[in-house]
Amino acid sequence: MEIWQFFVIFVVGVTAGFMNTLAGGGSLLTLPMLIFLGLPAAVANGTNRLAITVQSVFAVAGFRRKGVSDFKTSLILSGPPLIGAVIGAQLAVGIPDVFFKRTLAVVMILILGLILWNPIQRKNGNAYSHEDISKLSWKRRTVIMVSLFFAGVYGGFIQAGVGFLIIMALNILGRLNLVKTNSHKVFIAGINAMFSLLVFVAHNKIYWTIGLILAMGNGLGALVGSHFAVSKGERFIRMILTMCVVAMVVKLLVAR
């Protein structure tokens, strides 16, 4: 590979890390780039997990430095998606790209509608002021955990857009504000990526040199993103989230 290609990988990684920490969808930048550089789809999918794992470590550290973290709750919430990630990664061979891109586009439209409409907030007033998921009923917590399991399966399978599914489970179903939601999301996404990464490593589907460069970029982007998530607050996150979803939907619908 040429020097300019390494530079492009790093810059795209920074952008993706920023997007993933504030909202999601960064993998829809990194995966096409890796494939464009000549990596087989399965290797690109696995290599991307290395960057996501490193990115999540930096994002979690950034939120902790800002005083927005609850590792105990994050670890509990990570259980179901961890199991789902292993299952999804095992199924990742032979992904029908166009079908999943179209499906993901529909999911993104639904999530955007829910986020902008705020059905829970309309019904319950200041619903997003909650910061402790343990205050919810056991039935609602069960629904959240089941939702996170299926988000984990999807994340293990294709990764791109899983952050939006985690946001939906915690912000819409769990009624957590978006700052707290993002602090949990980066932890959960990291666990998901880490365990799915092990499956790809076992099948020798990692290009380590590219993966490490991409990981450095993702990590830097995650640090910057975690700072903005806390300092700018929920309105800023909602704006970035909306922009990312719209961009993703357009990209997915025109994909071939």
- Give CA separation, 144 vs 50, 116, 193, in Å: 27, 20, 19
Q: At what angle do helices 178-202 and 41-65 cross, to 10 degrees?
A: 140
> Do 53 and 2 meet the contact criterion of CB atoms below 8 Å apart?
no
72 contact partners, CB below 8 Å, separation of at least 6: none
Q: Which two tokens stand for residue 123?
A: 């019904």
Positive or negative CA dihedral for 157, 162, 168, 174? Answer: positive
Q: Which two tokens stand for residue 201?
A: 């490593």
Percent of the chain at pLDDT > 90 equals 29
Q: Which two tokens stand for residue 71?
A: 């590792």
Distance of alpha carbon 164 from its chain centroid, rounded?
Answer: 6
pLDDT for 180 beyond 70: yes
Length of the chain: 256
pLDDT for 186 beyond 50: yes
> What pLDDT is recorded for position 187?
93
Report pLDDT digits (tens) over 67-92: 877 888 899 999 999 999 999 888 87
Domain ranges of the chain: 3-254
pTM of the full predicted structure?
A: 0.77
